[in-house]
């Protein structure tokens, strides 16, 4: 894999780069946000490991610029020392695909980067129009709308939405969602909660009948409550 590491801690960046290179990856490193953004825009990478706190431009601003201004869909793994739900949600809202919390195991970072690279390379098979109540998801164009309102979603909440819509109105156990998103590389923290928060906030606005339902101890269901 071709991997870009954007991390201002020189020792940490060196350790990550050496570990990945020993395992056959081609690695480029940047120690500030502006350099990292320039490299990410002008070069092709299979995945990017991005620190949240950087000189010049922080990881949130960099990720937004990469997605919204440069139009690049390179998978991004956020590296953060902050483990609050708000910080994780901010990263996912900015366009990050996944995250790990410092201190992390180098083995986990590689596993997550590999998983992101596989998902990006595999893509989606065919086009399908999914609909639950007034929520519509075109899997070919990756466009989501509810009642005519267009909805922007980061990649992982979008994959969760696709799984829940295809399963609707069946309850999907938490473990099934985690297996689809992370496979065997389940993180030590609880990223699913943050991704579901992003998804719920996007599709269930105030005044709209809720579609995403949590069934405590059982899992999650996407369905029109009136139709249950």
For the residues of 128-140, what is the DSSP string, one character each? -EEEETTEEEETT
Q: How confident is the model at residue 62 (pLDDT cuts 50, 70, 90)?
A: very high
Which of these ranges, 23-37, 81-95, 101-115, 127-141, has the smallest mean pLDDT?
81-95
**pLDDT for 179 beyond 80:** yes
- Asked if 99 contacts 89 with a C-beta cutoff of 8 angstroms, the reply is no
Cα–Cα distance measured from residue 101 to residue 79, given in angstroms and rounded to the nearest whole number: 6
Using an 8 Å Cβ cutoff, are 26 and 44 in contact?
no
Q: How many angstroms separate the CA atoms of 182 and 210, rounded?
A: 27
pLDDT at 227 over 70: no
- Token pair of 178 as six digits: 């985690």
Residue 68 clears pLDDT 90, i.e. is over it: no
Share of residues in the chain with pLDDT > 90 (%): 51
Is the confidence at residue 54, as pLDDT, over 90? yes
Q: Are 136 and 128 in contact (CB under 8 A)?
A: no
Token code pair at residue 15: 């350790």
What rounded mean pLDDT belongs to the chain? 87
| Nearest Cα to Cα of residue 152 among 171, 172, 173, 137 | 137
Does 4 have pLDDT greater than 70? yes
Alpha-carbon span 4 to 20, nearest angstrom: 11
Q: What structural domains and CATH numbers belong to the chain?
A: 2-122 (3.40.50.2300), 129-227 (1.10.10.10)
Q: What b-and-e string marks burial along 10-40, b requiring 16 or more CB atoms within 10 Å of the CB? A: eebbeebbebbeeeebebbbbbbbebbbebb
| Residues 55/32, Cβ–Cβ less than 8 Å | yes
Residue 126 has pLDDT above 50, yes or no: no
- Would you state the pLDDT for residue 127? 53
Residue 50: other Cβ atoms inside 10 A: 30
């Amino acid at each position: 894999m071709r991997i870009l590491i954007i991390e201002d801690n020189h020792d940490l960046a060196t350790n990550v780069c050496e570990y990945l290179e020993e395992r056959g990856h081609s690695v480029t490193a940047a120690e500030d946000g502006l350099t990292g953004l320039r490299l990410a825009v002008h070069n092709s990478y299979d995945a990017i490991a991005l620190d949240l706190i950087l000189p010049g431009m922080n990881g949130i601003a960099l990720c937004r610029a990469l997605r919204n201004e440069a139009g690049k869909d390179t998978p991004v793994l956020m590296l953060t020392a902050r483990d609050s739900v708000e910080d994780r949600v901010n990263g996912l809202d900015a366009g990050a695909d996944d995250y790990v919390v410092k201190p992390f195991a180098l083995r986990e970072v590689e596993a997550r980067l590999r998983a992101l690279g596989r998902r990006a390379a595999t893509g989606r098979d065919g086009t399908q129009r999914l609909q639950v109540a007034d929520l519509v998801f075109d899997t070919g164009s990756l466009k989501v709308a509810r009642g005519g309102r267009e909805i922007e979603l980061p990649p992982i909440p979008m994959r969760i939405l696709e799984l829940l819509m295809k399963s609707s109105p069946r309850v999907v156990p938490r473990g099934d969602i985690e297996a689809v998103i992370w496979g065997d590389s389940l993180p030590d923290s609880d990223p699913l909660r943050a991704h579901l928060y992003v998804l719920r906030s996007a599709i269930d606005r105030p005044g709209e009948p809720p579609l995403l339902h949590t069934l405590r101890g059982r899992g999650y269901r996407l369905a029109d409550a009136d139709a249950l």
